[in-house]
């Protein structure tokens, strides 16, 4: 069984404007060939979500970006559909979907967003 972990990554500019994300499940186990899904709630930020993959000891890799009004995600280098995709259930709820899970998918996946309304201090 492969193990996939999820953590939260939030970009913000000032301490007074912290955005709280909720990512579930924190740990996900899947068998080879199965589909793995992870959900991210952006809280009050409702523009878009980015997903990153990090293999232990490595740097985070940009998987995809999904803006809620787009029909589909934009992919980082080396990532594409149908292996990786994303959907949204609302303007603040996003899902990462990894199809046909294999050994190389075992990693920590981060959900990230930002609050564009925050001014630089």
Residue ranges of the domains in the chain? 2-114
Task: Look at residue 94 in the predicted model and tell me its pLDDT.
Answer: 92
Task: Look at residue 82 in the predicted model and tell me its pLDDT.
Answer: 95
DSSP E strand stretches across 1-121: 2-11, 22-24, 27-30, 36-41, 48-54, 61-67, 74-75, 84-88, 93-98, 108-114
2-114: CATH topology is Immunoglobulin-like (2.60.40)
- pLDDT in single tens digits along all 121 residues of the chain: 555 555 444 433 334 455 677 888 888 888 999 999 999 988 876 788 999 999 989 999 999 999 888 888 999 999 999 999 999 988 889 999 999 999 999 999 989 887 666 555 5
Q: What angle do CA 89, 95, 100 make, to 5 degrees?
A: 130
What predicted TM-score, i.e. pTM, was given to this entire model? 0.80
Q: Residue 73 burial (CB < 10 Å; 0-12/13-18/19+)?
A: buried
Task: Look at residue 13 in the predicted model and tell me its pLDDT.
Answer: 35
């Amino acid at each position: 069984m492969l193990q996939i972990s999820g953590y939260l990554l939030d970009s913000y500019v000032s301490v007074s404007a912290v955005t709280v994300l909720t990512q579930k499940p924190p740990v996900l186990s899947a068998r080879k060939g199965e589909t793995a899904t992870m959900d991210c709630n952006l809280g009050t930020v409702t523009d878009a979500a980015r997903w990153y993959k990090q293999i232990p000891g490595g740097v985070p890799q940009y998987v995809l970006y999904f803006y809620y009004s787009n029909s589909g995600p934009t992919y980082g280098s080396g990532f594409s559909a149908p292996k990786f995709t994303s959907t949204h259930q609302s303007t603040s709820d996003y899902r990462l979907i990894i199809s046909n899970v294999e050994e190389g998918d075992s990693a920590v996946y981060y959900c990230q967003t930002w609050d564009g309304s925050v001014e630089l201090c």
